[in-house]
Structure 1
Amino acid sequence: MRRESGASDSVDVAAALSQLRRASGLPVAFGGLPAGTGRFRIGELAGTATTVLRGLDILRGNGLGGKAVALCRPFAVHDYEVSPVISHEYDAAVAAEGLRSVLAVPVVVRRRVRGVLYGALRQPVRLGDRPLSAAMEAARELEQTLLLREEAARLLAAARPRAREEEGGPPSATAGPAVWEEVREAHGELRALARRVTDPLLRHELLAACGRLAAAGRPGGDRGTGGGALGAGPVLTPREVDVLTQVAAGATNAQAAEWLGLRPETVKGYLRSCMRKLGVHSRMQAVVAARRAGALP
């Protein structure tokens, strides 16, 4: 079920272009991702009449997109072919598509340009605030998505096998306290990140990693999918596991509610449900019982 990151990024760019067209009213949009140092390749098209722009390599500083990348800010021209403020290495491709008014917005993640989005008209008119704002918003959304993917990759790498080198699985129950603290921190971050991920395949992979981490301390090392307790024990809902994860990290009800986007009364309700299912009478007893049941690492 796992998708390669490049394919996922292309899907995300296509979604950003769709958002850009819908919100800006610009009929044409295209964009690309890095293709080497100082180079971006146009890989996704929306509303174009030809495919002449696909595969075009944009060098940093060249043309409209290259200038937006170099300046790390949006840039627009009202008549591309005759604009005196950009270089004209790509005039033939732009003319073949019939584009005149064009804007370009860099996609910046952790201060590094990770892509460039374009919106365009086939008439030479000055683009107002609406299309530029819409393009910037689409770029911001794409930045957040790419950032989530990078963070997910980091956390998934942290969740891979440490003590079991041949399997690459999570640490065994005999691992030291420092290792378990790291595992529990990774588990909490993975669950928090999974709530923000819109890609169902990536979310599944994150929750599966949570399940493997939570199951690491169970006898026999059973592995689940991160949804709740395993085996014949009480089954906790994903939200109940989220609440217990926050409690295990030392959060108060109010802090857990803020982190999870819930009301404090709702958090209390989940805790009561957890304690009832686990047969305990306090928050920390619930955490201990959930760890024994394999719902938490």
Structure 2
Amino acid sequence: MRAGDTDAFRQALRLARQRTGVRCVFGGGVGDGALRLTEFVGTLTDSMRGLRVVPGRGLGGYVLAHQRPYAVNDYVPATTITHDYDNPVRREGFRAIVAAPVTVRGGVRGVLYAAARDAAPLGDRTTAALTEAARLLAHEIAVRDEVDRRMRLMETAAAAPAPPPPPELDALRDLHAELRGIAHEIEDTELRDRLRNACDRFLRAGLGTDGTDEDPSGERPRLSPRELDVLSYVALGCTNAETGRQLCLEPETVKAYLRSATRKLGVHSRHHAVAAARRLGLLP
């Protein structure tokens, strides 16, 4: 698990506790071929903190190996799992436990658990709610994976000794718009701002500027991130409806951002707005 994913796992556990109604939830990420339990809500001891769970061993290992949710009504005497981790489970007093995998692109990246201290079955509703929390966490991790991949591409491109040839300008514009679209979807404010700042650095490197160009009046217009998101897709020839689909916005909201951008840029059409933004180094 990346250090930066800790917040995502904690948020997933809060959601799991809320939706399942189970007091104790815990989990962790997968790395080096094993699950490491690092995040806990509602536990009474540290008996399981840092526990390393390998595929095929215990309840978590079963979930890792089979990549599907699984539950036991009474952990210690259960005959469907191995008992490598009975001691820490017994010290915590857990009996009924359900676990669900966090599956990203066919691989398990983590496991979420819900546990009770009595042997009453947690039931299908609890399993379904925990599985949904795991699915939402998997989506968030997939988005972060894509952000990391794109940022590595940008860093590689920015470090190149020479700017790309003119035929690659369209590809740069496509990538710039796509990255801003991904940033628009990210709920984590710090991560979203980090990606947008990286977009700006990538843009300056691709255009061979230092980002200090001014307009003739000496005052550089300041467009909001959302206005730039919209303009980046308009620059690719997208309609308001197509731009809205890319950014999960209504067409009327797209039009409102366009009106605001054109006003700030001192122009009267979407095409002139794109031209002005490119002249000022705001778009590739």
Q: 1:20 deviation in Å?
A: 1.1
| In the alignment, structure 1 residue 267 sits paired with structure 2 residue 262 | no
- Residue 254 (structure 1) aligned to one of 241, 247, 254: 241
How big is the shift at 1:183? 2.4
Residue of structure 1 in register with 2:28 after alignment: 32
Deviation at 1:122, TM superposition (A): 0.2
Q: CA deviation at 1:99?
A: 0.3
Q: Deviations over 1:53-101 (max 9, x none)?
A: 0111111111111111211110001001111111111111111110000
The TM-score with structure 2 as length reference comes to 0.90
5+ residue gaps, structure 1:
225-230
- Distance apart, 1:156 and its partner CA: 0.9
* Alpha-carbon separation, structure 2, partners of 1:244 and 1:201: 23
Counterpart in 1 of 2:148? 153
For the structure 1 residues 201 and 267, does the alpha-carbon distance in structure 2 shift closer, same or farther, using more than 3 Å as the test?
Answer: closer
Contact 2:158 2:205 in 1 (8 A): no
Query: Which moved further from structure 2: 184-193 or 254-263?
Result: 254-263
Farther-moved stretch of structure 1 (273-282 vs 201-210): 273-282
Residue equivalent to 1:235: 222
Q: Output the amino acid matched with 2:253.
A: T
- Structure 1 residue 201: Cα displacement: 1.9
1:157-178 Cα shifts (integer Å, max 9, x gaps):
1211536447xxxx74xx3124
Contact 2:96/2:117 (8 A) holds in 1: yes
2:204 pairs with one of 209, 215, 220: 215
Out of 186, 192, 201, the residue aligned to residue 190 of structure 2 is: 201
Partner of 1:73: 68
Out of 46, 55, 59, which is 1:51 matched to?
A: 46
What SS is found at the alignment partner of 1:50? coil
For the aligned residues, what is the CA RMSD? 2.2
1:18 aligns with 2:5: no
Q: Which amino acid aligns with 2:175?
A: A
* Gapped regions of structure 2 (runs ≥ 5): none
Q: Paired residue for 1:9?
A: 5
Change (3 A) 1:200 1:281: closer
Q: Runs in 1 of length 4+ with deviation above 6 angstroms?
A: none
Q: Which residue of 2 aligns with 1:109?
A: 104
Q: Do structure 1's residue 162 and structure 2's residue 157 form an aligned pair?
A: yes
Partner of 1:278: 265
Q: 2:113 aligns with which of 118, 140, 156?
A: 118
Question: Match for 2:282: what amino acid?
Answer: A
What is the distance in 2 between the residues matched to 1:270 and 1:208? 20
Contact 1:100 1:120 in 2 (8 A): yes
In the alignment, the residues of structure 2 paired with residue 291 and residue 143 of structure 1 have an alpha-carbon distance, to the nearest angstrom, of 37
Aligned mates of 2:150, 2:159 — CA distance in 1: 18
TM-score with structure 1 setting the length = 0.87
Alignment pair present for 1:128 and 2:117: no
Aligned-partner SS, 1:249: coil
- Using the TM superposition, give the Cα deviation of residue 28 of structure 1 relative to its aligned residue in structure 2, in angstroms: 1.1
Q: Deviations over 1:89-145 (max 9, x none)?
A: 111111111000000101100111101111100000111222112211110111011
* SS class of match (2:84): coil
Of 155-164 and 125-134, deviating more is 155-164
Any conservation in 2 of the 1:29–1:47 contact (CA below 8 Å)? yes
Cα separation, 2, equivalents of 1:47 and 1:288: 56
Number of residue pairs aligned between Structure 1 and Structure 2: 280
Give identity over the alignment, percent. Answer: 44
Query: Separation in 1 of the partners of 2:208 and 2:83?
Result: 66
CA separation in 1, counterparts of 2:130 and 2:112?
8
